[in-house]
Amino acid sequence: MGSVVDAANKEATESAHINKKVTVVFVLGGPGSGKGTQCANIVKHFGYTHLSAGDLLRAEQNSGSENGAMIKNVIKEGRIVPSEVTVKLLQRAMEQSANDKFLIDGFPRNQENRAAQENRAAFESVIGIEPEFVLFFDCSEEEMQKRILNRNQGREDDNMETIRKRFRTYIESSLPVIEYYNSKGKVRKIDATKPVEEVFEAVKDVFAPLNDKVAY
């Protein structure tokens, strides 16, 4: 088992940097922050490709490949998928895409602060680029909780404990990444407590300088 992981890490580390010029934006936000809705708006209006680290891992896991089997075993055992493996999947998705602008959703973050930092370092070293910025949807826990409960049609007793665990995981996994990039002046914080339309107006202000033409 270990040899499979080691081989995957070696392949990822030794791979060449991504072979085209790309713009990458990391997207972070808690459950109920509206991140998914805003990512869809960014894709529609600014022509980005939305890449979810979780979706890519699940797809690889179901592909029947050797890497997929390794990912499945690692997740089953409650361990963290090696950061280089996730980065390699992101790299492949970017290289196979005809686009050169990407939203990276759900990465780099993990349930351990150290792992989150390792993911960030792996992304920059393997792919050879830093993100243009980190788009951070800032929303109070109270507001996110209210939105999730409304979305779940009020099944409060069944979901409250799970919701709180999701909040804790989000805070523990995202803060080290936000703090690191904030120290480099790369965090663009959006007040996500406002209505969807107002939030996207703030998002447009952030993305407009990067785009010569906006598709409406």
Binding site for a ribonucleoside 5'-phosphate, residues?
A: 58, 79-81, 106-109, 155, 166
Q: How far apart are the first and last CA of the chain?
A: 50
Instruction: Write out the binding residues.
Output: 32-37, 58, 79-81, 106-109, 113, 151, 155, 166, 194
Instruction: Write out the binding residues for CMP.
Output: 113
* Closest by Cα among 48, 39, 44, 68 to 56: 68
**Cβ(50)–Cβ(103) under 8 Å?**
yes
The residue assigned the tokens 């890497």 is 67
Phi then psi for 112, rounded to 5 degrees? -120, 135
> What residues contact 126, with CB distance under 8 A and at least 6 apart?
12, 13, 15, 17, 84, 87, 88, 91
**Cβ(73)–Cβ(22) under 8 Å?**
no
Over its C-alpha atoms, the chain yields an Rg (Å, rounded) of 18
Q: State whether residue 216 is helix, strand or coil.
A: coil
Instruction: Write out the binding residues for ATP.
Output: 32-37, 151, 194
Q: State whether residue 191 is helix, strand or coil.
A: strand
Q: State whether residue 131 is helix, strand or coil.
A: coil
What order of strands is seen across the sheet that includes strand 23-29? Answer: 49-52, 101-105, 23-29, 133-138, 187-191
